[in-house]
Structure 1
Amino acid sequence: MANKKLNIGKVPNLRFPGFESEWETKKLGEIATFSKGKGISKSDIEENGITECIRYGELYTHYREIITEIKSKTNVNTSTLVLSEENDVVIPASGETTIDIATASCILKSGIALGGDLNIIKTENNGIFLSYYLNSKKKMEIANLAQGISVVHLYSSQLASLSLSLPKLNEQSKISSFLALLDERVQTQNKIIQQLETLIQALRNQIFKRKRRFTDTDGRDSSDWKKVKIGDILKIGSGKDYKHLQSGNIPVFGTGGFMTLVNDYLYDGETVCIGRKGTIDKPMYHKGKLWTVDTLFYTHSFQSCIPKFIFHLFQTINWLEYNEASGVPSLSKTTIEKIGLQIPSIEEQERIASFLSKVDQKIQIEKAILEQLEMQKKYMLQQMFV
Structure 2
Amino acid sequence: MPTLRFPGFTEEWQEVQFCDVVNLYRGSSPRPIIEFITHSDEGVNWVKIGDMPTTGRLVTSTSERITLEGSKKSRKVSPGDLILSNSMTFGQPYVMAIEGYIHDGWFVLRDYEEKMDRDFLCNLLISPIIQKQYYRLAAGGVVQNISSDLVNQVRFSLPSIAEQLQISHLLNILDERIALQSKLI
- 2:87 is the alignment partner of 1:94: yes
1:160 Cα deviation from its structure 2 partner = 0.7
Aligned to 2:106: 118
1:108 Cα deviation from its structure 2 partner = 5.1
Q: 5+ residue gaps in structure 2?
A: none
> Taking structure 2 as the reference length, what is the TM-score of the superposition?
0.78
Q: Residues 86 and 116 (structure 1 numbering): CA distance in 2 closer, same or farther, change over 3 Å?
A: same
**1:177-207 alpha-carbon deviations (Å, 9 max, x no partner):** 2212221222233333xxxxxxxxxxxxxxx
Indicate the structure (1 or 2) with the bigger Cα radius of gyration: 1
Match of 2:162 among 159, 170, 193: 170
Q: Residues 21 and 154 (structure 1 numbering): CA distance in 2 closer, same or farther, change over 3 Å?
A: same
Residues 45 and 66 in structure 2, CA contact (< 8 A), matched pair in contact too: no
Aligned to 2:9: 19
| AA of the residue aligned to 2:12 | E
- 2:93 is the alignment partner of 1:104: yes
1:42-57 matched pairs, under 5 angstroms = 44=37, 51-57=44-50
- 2:146 is the alignment partner of 1:151: no
Residues 49 and 74 in structure 1, CA contact (< 8 A), matched pair in contact too: no
SS at match of 2:77: coil
Distance 1:135 1:152 in 2: 17
1:251-270 matched pairs, under 5 angstroms = none
- Deviation above 6 Å: which 4+ runs of structure 1? 40-43, 47-50
**1:61-103 alpha-carbon deviations (Å, 9 max, x no partner):** 6364x32x513154424542422245533222221xxxx3232
| Identity in percent | 22
1:22 Cα deviation from its structure 2 partner = 0.9
Residues 51 and 63 in structure 2, CA contact (< 8 A), matched pair in contact too: no
Match of 2:18 among 16, 23, 28: 28
Distance 1:52 1:74 in 2: 6
Q: 5+ residue gaps in structure 1?
A: 1-10, 193-365, 367-386
- 2:76 is the alignment partner of 1:83: yes
Aligned to 2:119: 128
Distance 2:138 2:173 in 1: 31
> Taking structure 1 as the reference length, what is the TM-score of the superposition?
0.40
Structure with greater contact order relative to length (CA < 8 Å, sep ≥ 6): 2
| AA of the residue aligned to 1:138 | I
SS at match of 2:7: coil
Distance 1:138 1:46 in 2: 38
Distance 1:58 1:74 in 2: 9
Q: Over aligned residue pairs, what C-alpha RMSD do you find?
A: 2.9
Distance 2:44 2:182 in 1: 28
Distance 2:78 2:162 in 1: 21
**1:140-179 alpha-carbon deviations (Å, 9 max, x no partner):** 1111121011111211111111111001112112211221
1:134-283 matched pairs, under 5 angstroms = 134-136=125-127, 137-192=129-184
**1:271-328 alpha-carbon deviations (Å, 9 max, x no partner):** xxxxxxxxxxxxxxxxxxxxxxxxxxxxxxxxxxxxxxxxxxxxxxxxxxxxxxxxxx
